[in-house]
Amino acid sequence: MYLTLATTAEADDGIVQPDFHARGQQTHKLYQRVQSGRHLFLEGDEARHVYEVQRGILRLARVMENGRRQIVAFGLPGDVVGFPAGDLHHTDCDAICDTVVLAHSRRALENSDMDRDLHHRLMQAALKEICAMQDHFMMLSSRSAAEKIASFLLTLADRTGQACGPYVSVDLAMRRVDIADFLGLTTETVCRTITQFRKDGLIALDTAQKVIIRDLDALRHRAEPA
């Protein structure tokens, strides 16, 4: 997310390690389970696979030279993460809740003769990621804090929201500090803006991790650039 049961034999680290045959063909779907707080890969790791999120949420982040963390994206169900920079992963990737991914060999991305349908799907996902990343960077530089947070909530509502009578329920699995590091804000600004949305009747907080969007139209209006 930018502003974007098969084999399950468990390894000791809680990750199911995929096994590909010598010719690189997948004989069955290869799932990995990533426990909350565990890494799927680290920046600089060799990128042997890309991963399609089936359930849960992944956090992709980089630590800059000044020590500050920048969250590059959240991987939501349906997203493909782990596209390499050259031969290496260019971000850390960990699970912010228990997550299941489907692993695809990089060869499926690079060689259309292996599985043309999968190759096409992964290429489309890569192009979508580029476009979404460009939109996210533009949003970071041109929108106010309220506009950013409203857009973020609307994206979650569109991707993972559940109807709750006349309202929309959104699971907010990421912490406020994660949202801040994703949107280029401070944690205090995120908390203050969410509180203001609640006071204005746009949202309600069922719990700290569950938001009820009470007025979608008003929230969309807050997301529009001034």
Q: What is the pLDDT of residue 127?
A: 80
Number of domains in the chain: 2
- List the CATH number of the domain containing 201: 1.10.10.10
Q: What percent of the chain has pLDDT over 90?
A: 61
Residue 11 has pLDDT above 70, yes or no: no
Amino acid at 142: S
Judge residue 171's burial from the number of C-beta atoms within 10 Å of its C-beta, 0-12 exposed, 13-18 middle, 19 or more buried.
middle
Q: What is the pLDDT of residue 122?
A: 81
Mean pLDDT of 191-199: 97
How does DSSP classify residue 9?
P
Q: Which of 111, 140, 169 is the last residue of a domain?
A: 140
Integer-rounded Cα radius of gyration of the chain: 19
- 26 inside domain: no
Q: What is the pLDDT of residue 221?
A: 95
Residues 119 and 171 in one domain: no
Residues 186 and 153 in one domain: yes
Which residues constitute the domain of residue 71? 31-140
Residues 161 and 218 in one domain: yes
Segment among 111-120, 146-155, 196-205 with least mean pLDDT? 111-120
How would residue 16 be classed by pLDDT, with cut points 50, 70 and 90? Answer: very low
Q: Which of 140, 163, 182 is the last residue of a domain?
A: 140
Residues 35 and 131 in one domain: yes
Residues 151 and 119 in one domain: no
Mean pLDDT of 134-154: 85
- List the CATH number of the domain containing 53: 2.60.120.10
Give Dmax (Cα) for the chain. Answer: 59
Bigger pLDDT: 223 or 5? 223
pTM over 0.85: no
Distance of CA 53 to the CA centre of its chain: 9
Q: What is the pLDDT of residue 13?
A: 41
Q: What angle do CA 142, 145, 149 make, to 5 degrees?
A: 105
For 45-70, how does the pLDDT look when each residue is reduced to its tens digit (9 = 90+)?
999 999 999 999 999 999 888 888 89
Residues 129 and 55 in one domain: yes
For 68-82, how does the pLDDT look when each residue is reduced to its tens digit (9 = 90+)?
889 999 999 999 999
Residue 135 has pLDDT above 80, yes or no: no
- 133 inside domain: yes
CA-to-CA separations, 21 to 18, 24, 27, 105, 114, in angstroms, rounded: 10, 5, 8, 11, 13
CA-to-CA separations, 70 to 62, 128, 145, 184, 200, in angstroms, rounded: 5, 21, 16, 8, 30
Residue 15 has pLDDT above 50, yes or no: no
Residues 40 and 102 in one domain: yes
* Sign of the CA dihedral running 216, 185, 95, 119: positive
Exposure string over 104-121, b if 16+ CB within 10 A, otherwise e? bbbbbbeeeebbeebbeb
- 126 inside domain: yes
